Structure 1
Amino acid sequence: MLSISVGQILFKKASGAFSAPLTWQAFVFNGWLIASLVLYGLTTLGWVWILRNVPLHLAYPFMGLAFLIVPTLAWMFLGEPLHWRTLAGGALIMAGVALASTS
């Protein structure tokens, strides 16, 4: 989950590095974008490995944690505001993940 969340922060940094007009060179030479795509590729391989070893109904609820991790990382590293509603929603998601992952 952390790698997906970090990937989102990298995508945000990539979007800020673009200048107008957008050209193919802007995409190819955007280091933030390349880093995020590489991270997402590696994360996808890891996710396939996880799904090979863990039932989907147990693994997938953890994807919901990104809804709390991404805003927290954005607050820490990008200076974006972190609202109480985000934290309250994140607490509900964590409760749901805990409920869904128990047998």
Structure 2
Amino acid sequence: MTVYVIALLCVVGLAIGQILFKVSAAEITASGSIFSPKAAIALLAAMCIYGVTSVVWVWILQKVELGRVYPLMALAFILVPIGSHFVFGERFQAQYFIGVALIMIGIIVAVRA
């Protein structure tokens, strides 16, 4: 069970990394320079998070079959847009929430299989 909690933390880390990649991209666009300190910090933070989560993911795969734990990665399709709503003010249509519900059902079915 602990491995699954750590796997969920990896997914959260990857979602945070994606938000930081977008922060970096937005800052590069706003400043007009790839050398913007804010962009560089966000990019470096995202890369560090991705590095740590990749190493932890390898550890997880030593403990659990890939087919059992990989469906949890689909949670990123839910977490990243939620984060983008709060950080960037992005909006979603009703179809998005239907898709999220279908993803959640799929994750539940896959993990319990």
Q: Tell me if the contact between 1:4 and 1:43 (Cα under 8 Å) persists in the aligned partners.
A: yes
Identity of aligned residues (%): 36
User: Partners of 1:4 and 1:36 in 2: how far apart?
Assistant: 8
2:56 is paired with a residue of what secondary structure? Answer: helix
Bigger share in helix: 2
1:61 to 49, 62, 71: 71
2:106 to 76, 93, 96: 96
User: Partners of 1:33 and 1:21 in 2: how far apart?
Assistant: 13
| Deviation at residue 85 of structure 1 after TM alignment | 1.7
TM-score between the two structures when normalised by the length of structure 1? 0.87
TM-score between the two structures when normalised by the length of structure 2? 0.80
Cα RMSD between the aligned structures? 1.7
2:54 to 37, 41, 44: 44
| Deviation at residue 97 of structure 1 after TM alignment | 0.7
Q: Tell me if the contact between 1:68 and 1:87 (Cα under 8 Å) persists in the aligned partners.
A: no
* Count of residue correspondences: 100
